[in-house]
Amino acid sequence: MHVAHDLPGLLVVDPDGRPYAALPASDLVRMLVPGYIQEDPVLAEVIDEPHADRLCRALAGRKLLDCLPVGKPFLPTAAPDCTAMEIAELMARTRSPLIAVVERSSSGPDRLLGVITATHLLKQLIQACGSPD
């Protein structure tokens, strides 16, 4: 689970390991909120903690796929030769906390090389600038 690594979200891959969707942590949290509360937020106030635990347990059998948005999934990707500025521009434009780095292949499936988070990018740029953290 992403929480063990304090990541800002999950990159979901398909059964062949190809990147499929980027799920920000706030979207993962949405999985915990029943539809009737999303429609009427005031109802959240009347659910006490034990009830919240019960709702959480009810998630146990659900798959991540059930929680992905319908239609074309949101997946900002970049090529391995992208510059830091291109990554920053993509991240700022999509407001995504993570970008999948993907190697395109003309002969086979695209290959996931890694994930860049906003925090990781800022860290790298601060180091490149030589300023103290």
Query: Position 84: which residue type?
Result: A
Considering only 13, 53, 109, 114, the residue that binds a copy of itself (CB under 8 A) is: 53
Q: Which amino acid is at 58?
A: A
DSSP state of 96: -
* Residue 49 engages a copy of itself in binding (rule: CB under 8 A): yes
Instruction: Show contacts with a copy of itself in window 92-121 (CB under 8 A).
Output: 92-97, 117-119, 121
Q: Residue 63 is inside which H or E element, if any?
A: none
| Residue selected from 12, 67, 68, 90 as contacting a copy of itself according to rule CB under 8 A | 90
**Residue from 65, 80, 89, 103 that binds a copy of itself (CB under 8 A)?**
89
The first and second tokens of residue 12, run together, are 């979901």
- Residue partners of 105: CB distance under 8 A and separation at least 6: 111
Q: How many residues bind a copy of itself (CB under 8 A)?
A: 58
Helix spans in the chain (H): 25-30, 35-39, 49-58, 64-67, 84-94, 118-129
- Binding residues for a copy of itself, rule: CB under 8 A, are 1-4, 6-8, 24-30, 32-33, 37-38, 41, 44-45, 47-49, 51-53, 55-57, 59-60, 83-86, 88-97, 117-119, 121-123, 125-126, 128-129, 131, 133
